[in-house]
Structure 1
Amino acid sequence: MLKKIRTLLAKLPLPLLGDTKPVVAILPLEGVIGTSGKFSEALNLAGVEKRIEAAFDVFGVKAVALAINSPGGSPVQSELIMRRIRKLSEEKEIPVYAFAEDVAASGGYMLSLAADEIYASAASIIGSIGVISAGFGFDKAIEKVGVDRRVYTAGENKSILDPFQPEKEEDVKFLKEIQKDIHGFFKDMVKERRGDKLKGTQKVMFSGKFWTGTEAEKMGLIDGVGDLQSVMKEKFGEKTKFNRIEGEKSFIKSLLGLGGRKRAISREIMAVLDERAHWGRFGL
């Protein structure tokens, strides 16, 4: 019904609509991507779905602009958000444009694949199309302290990759097989969404490396270098209005310039440190 109303309104003379100006809804997608249980204030579908829907329901909206600033995280949540945006874009026939700010890497780049066109600053960090797992081994530390590790399982692989036991070659091989599958899924999604726009070799583009916006444009990972307001005004006119769909901010993340919901301060401090590690990979 909403789609039919928009179609009808689009056909009415401008004077009857009060000489309306084009409207672009800005949807910020910021932070590490994951479930709230893993990263406090993490970006995930449950937390952002209402804002996605609100962006597409803005009266008179001509396009949705994604303002992306994310170093990545969960591939599952990245895909869920991306697919939800694509579904609404196709249902409502509203184009989507993505604009990378400081970084759109790994899962952050996957988010940008929801867009019909992707833009970035010349100095934005783009890419990191790969899969990473990281952790620590504590087996030598507990041996030095004199602590015995006692593990009882039903299922021979239940304790696989236990950080308190010596690393096993077969465990690493198993992990790499999973990473290979996820990497293949990511590569297929990039090829599906970017298609003939891709200009670089797959060996380089899908190596896990990341580039500036200028270099990413040369490889076809993005469509151009430009900022959100300038590009949108170029497409929809100088009188284009912008409606930013904001979420709430928590106390700790407000101090550190990161968005999110209110949580217990002690939990937030630990989560923000974890999140900073993700940003730190890109020098941010």
Structure 2
Amino acid sequence: MDNPQYPNNDPAWERKVLEKLAFAALDEQKARRRWSIIFKSLGFAYLMVVLIAVVDWGSGAEHQERHTALINLQGVIEAKGEANAENMVSALNAAFEEKNVAGVILRINSPGGSPVQAGIINDEMHRLRAKHPDKPLYVVVEDMCASGGYYVAAAADKIFVNKASIVGSIGVLMDGFGFTGTMDKAGIERRLLTAGENKGFLDPFSPQMPQHKAHAQLLLDDIHKQFIDVVKTGRGKRLKETPDMFSGLMWTGAQSVQLGLADEFGSVDSVARDVIKAEKVLDYSVKDNIAERFAKRLGASTMNEFWKGASANLQTIRLF
């Protein structure tokens, strides 16, 4: 049956069909090109937003003036978080190496964390103070400077607090759970095979062995002694030692000044203005970007999988 649009007696019908198909293809190509431009524009806009957020465009000119360097230590001190030794050491070095920095303020608001990470930061603070004796390093405590946070703070020239700050907790802990009773009730049998008589050290699914508990206590006591030595070295004669000072208790900022755990009351602004005499404050804190945080967590997950089974029973020692 003849198509009324392209009858058989029309010699140009094939050309018309081809033209229609060609125009349709062109329209489709134009549409794809428009969407491609839109997506590229959105991607470029996103990259610009990220770039603006990451780069401190005005820092170059600001650094030419005499100023106070601020470094923030916020949250738990741990290798996979922002408050890790790598970030803190990098920020401290950048601040001390800048010639126009009149003094450095480390603002701490932390409940503690890894004794290893805190120890690395503490050591670097002592090194930089010795290398740059003309640049004071002060700690300003906000809400909390406890345990690992205080481990870090003890390396400063002076510690400034708020009257209501929480300071101290000079102690070490290792925590975990025991599931043997629950397993007995559920009729579950633990089948643990080890090479090495102590490889099942503190396994939460096995009865706690007295010798393992005693060895864990030795570890805690040793790290606790290291913590105490760090505090005594950092605070020196300012410390008014009491029987419970190193028991893990915490005190208010006002009490910490009386005990010699802190020196004076102050904030970032007051210390920069009245103590360092450089009211202009610039932030030298190092912050991981999204890609770095993802890579660190991916790396941590990979290592966790690697060690799983080989040392799944290992307890974490923390300064909390």
TM-score, with length taken from structure 2: 0.68
- 1:248 deviation in Å? 2.9
Q: Deviations over 1:122-172 (max 9, x none)?
A: 111100001111111112223333332111112111111100112222221
Decide which of 282, 288, 294 is 1:263's aligned counterpart. Answer: 294
1:154 to 195, 208, 223: 195
Contact 1:86 1:114 in 2 (8 A): yes
SS, match of residue 170 in structure 1: helix
1:101 offset after TM fit, Å? 1.1
Equivalent position of 2:284 in the other structure = 245
1:249 and 1:77, CA in 2 relative to 1: closer, same or farther beyond 3 A? closer
For 2:221, the equivalent position in structure 1 comes to 180
**Residue 175 and residue 114 in structure 1: after superposition, are their counterparts in 2 closer, same or farther (change >3 A)?**
same
Alignment of 1:113-192 (within 5 A): 113-192=154-233
Structure 1 counterpart SS, 2:173: coil
Mapped contact 1:248–1:261 kept (Cα < 8 A): no
* Residue in structure 1 matched with residue 106 of structure 2 by the alignment: 66
Name the structure 2 match of 1:211. 251
- Specify which of 102, 111, 122 is matched with residue 143 of structure 2: 102
Report the residue type matching 1:216 in the other structure.
S
Question: 1:57 — aligned with what?
Answer: 97
One-letter code of the match for 1:25?
A
Which residue of the partner structure matches residue 232 of structure 1?
A: 272
Question: Residue 4 of structure 1 corresponds to which residue in structure 2?
Answer: none
SS in 1 for 2:196: coil
Cα distance in 2 between the residues matched to 1:29 and 1:183: 22
Letter in 2 for 1:262: R
CA distance in 1, matches of 2:276, 2:220: 42
The more displaced of 99-108 and 143-152 is 143-152
Q: Does the 8 Å contact 2:272/2:281 carry over to 1?
A: no
- Identify unmatched segments of 5+ residues in structure 2: 1-63, 299-317
Q: Structure 2: which amino acid aligns with 1:27?
A: I
Change (3 A) 1:78 1:232: same
> 2:244 is paired with a residue of what secondary structure?
helix
1:3-27 superposed Cα distances (whole Å, 9 cap, x missing partner):
xxxxxxxxxxxxxxxxx86411001
Deviation at 1:116, TM superposition (A): 0.4
User: Structure 1 length normalisation: TM-score?
Assistant: 0.76
Residues paired across the two proteins, number: 237
**1: CA distance between counterparts of 2:196 and 2:180?**
22
Of 96-105 and 41-50, the range deviating more from structure 2: 41-50
CA contact (8 A) 1:22 1:236 kept: no
- The letter of the residue matching 2:126 is R
Identity of aligned residues (%): 39
SS at match of 2:272: helix
Q: Which has the larger radius of gyration?
A: 2
Matches within 5 A, 1:273-284: none
- Which range moved further: 111-120 or 224-233? 224-233
SS of residue in 2 equivalent to 1:262: helix
Once the 2 structures are TM-superposed, how far is the Cα of residue 219 of structure 1 from its aligned partner?
A: 0.2
**1:137 and 1:165 in contact (8 A); partners too:** yes
Q: Partner residue of 2:67?
A: 23
Letter of the structure 2 residue corresponding to residue 117 of structure 1:
K
RMSD, aligned CA: 2.5
CA contact (8 A) 1:129 1:187 kept: yes
